[in-house]
């Protein structure tokens, strides 16, 4: 047996839930059938009261913790916070993490086969929204026999899903944790997403989204999209301390090849992402981000939009996050307060920008763990391991 750290969930195996019940989507179309790929960590108790749902961000997926094999170099994307004794303590909680509809890591999405045509969905895959994801997640919870989550947790786009859970299924959420998120995108954020989409759509290999049928992929466009996105996830201080103006060699070469270390880093990130992520999925996910605005149907009054919620909230922001700055988290916390909801808000001093929500920053971990420990005590959850 391979050896893993004591606070790791160890080896995990993804599971697939198939649904034949049609899912009506916000765009007006219906998905006739679909699969959701998910992983679980910990043990579901007899009362089924210790389940925690983890919602992923734009490029995330179901593999949030542990390892798929002994030779896997990196654990799941949120392994720093999920496991025995960690913030989401798997000795107490049963964690569910899934790949959203429209994804490209096993759940039904653009790379899946359209049963009506027999060809890949490609650009014909319907637009999905945060609400659509939440409805599909609720169906997965039903399949697992989970009537109410001890907590629904997410960062960035995942935090938007958490907020929507508390609005449309308030009776099914005992606690909510919203990290580095926003109640709606700013014009600047929508602009960044549009630049990324245009980089993909203008790639000659895009073929109006039917690139798979042409035996190619818009990797240059997806690479540029990821490079732009990655810049927004890091703070200026983080990039400066990590790379500064360091050159790859001692001398300038007076050309357009890579000269600065930061250029090399961004190209590497873009190249890696372009071979592991689907371009149509990226387009869908960024549009879901753009569309999210729960206050819109309440005349722009966010306090009215969050009024249905029935649970305590933890809202976390990071000082150097300029993609979803602390002011947006305070806006949400203030709206929850005006609506009479119990909310704890903390702004963590971190130099790591938006990506700080993924990292094991000590104060962040302490606040997160304290909130989850309180939730466990109030729900009467004992250690299951």
Q: Where are the beta strands (DSSP E) in 119-230?
A: 151-155, 176-179
Three-state SS for 160?
Answer: helix
71 is in an annotated binding site: no
| Residue corresponding to tokens 């993804």 | 14
Three-state SS for 7?
Answer: coil
Three-state SS for 301?
Answer: coil
Cα 262 from Cα 127, distance rounded (Å): 35
Burial 232-257 (b: 16+ CB within 10 A, else e): bbbbeebbeeebeeeeeeeeeeeeee
Residue 99's nearest CA partner among 142, 146, 149, 64 is: 64
Query: How crowded is residue 32: how many other Cβ atoms within 10 Å of its Cβ?
Result: 13
226 is in an annotated binding site: yes
The residues annotated as belonging to the active site are: 156, 321, 354
Three-state SS for 23?
Answer: strand
**Rounded to an integer, what is the distance from CA 69 to the centroid of its chain?**
23
CB of 9 closer than 8 Å to CB of 65: yes
**Rounded to an integer, what is the distance from CA 161 to the centroid of its chain?**
9
Cα 59 from Cα 49, distance rounded (Å): 29
CB of 150 closer than 8 Å to CB of 49: yes
Cα 61 from Cα 228, distance rounded (Å): 21
* Residues contributing to the annotated binding site for substrate: 226, 355
* Residues contributing to the annotated binding site: 226, 355
């Amino acid at each position: 047996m391979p050896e893993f750290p004591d606070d790791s969930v160890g080896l995990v195996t993804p599971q697939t839930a198939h649904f034949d019940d049609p899912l009506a989507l916000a765009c007006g179309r219906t998905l006739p059938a679909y699969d959701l790929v998910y992983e679980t960590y910990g043990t579901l108790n007899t009362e089924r009261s210790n389940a925690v749902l983890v919602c992923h961000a734009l490029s995330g997926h179901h593999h949030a913790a542990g390892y798929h094999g002994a030779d896997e170099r990196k654990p799941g994307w949120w392994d720093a916070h999920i496991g025995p004794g960690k913030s989401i303590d798997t000795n107490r909680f049963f964690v569910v993490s899934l790949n959203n509809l429209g994804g490209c890591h096993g759940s039904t999405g653009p790379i899946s086969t359209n049963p009506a045509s027999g060809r890949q969905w490609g650009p014909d895959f319907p637009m999905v929204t945060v609400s659509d994801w939440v409805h599909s997640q609720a169906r997965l919870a039903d399949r697992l026999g989970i009537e109410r989550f001890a907590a629904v947790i997410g960062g960035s786009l995942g935090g938007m899903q958490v907020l929507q859970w508390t609005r449309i299924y308030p009776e099914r959420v005992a606690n909510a944790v919203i990290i580095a998120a926003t109640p709606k995108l700013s014009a600047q954020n929508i602009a960044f997403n549009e630049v990324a989409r245009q980089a993909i759509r203008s790639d000659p290999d895009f073929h109006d989204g039917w690139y798979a049928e042409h035996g190619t992929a818009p990797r240059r466009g997806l690479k540029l999209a990821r490079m732009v996105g990655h810049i927004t996830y890091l703070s200026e201080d983080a990039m400066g301390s990590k790379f500064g103006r360091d050159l790859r060699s001692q001398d300038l070469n007076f050309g357009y090849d890579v000269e600065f270390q930061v250029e090399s880093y961004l190209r590497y990130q873009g190249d890696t992402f372009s071979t592991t992520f689907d371009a149509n999925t990226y387009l869908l996910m960024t549009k879901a981000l753009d569309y999210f605005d729960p206050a819109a149907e309440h005349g722009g009054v966010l306090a009215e939009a969050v009024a249905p919620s029935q649970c305590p909230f933890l809202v976390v922001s990071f000082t150097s996050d300029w993609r979803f700055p602390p002011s947006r988290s305070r806006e949400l916390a203030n709206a929850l307060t005006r609506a009479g909801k119990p909310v704890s808000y903390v702004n963590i001093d971190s130099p790591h920008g938006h990506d700080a929500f993924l990292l094991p920053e000590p104060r962040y971990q302490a606040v997160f763990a304290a909130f989850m420990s309180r939730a466990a005590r109030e729900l009467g959850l004992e250690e299951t391991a």
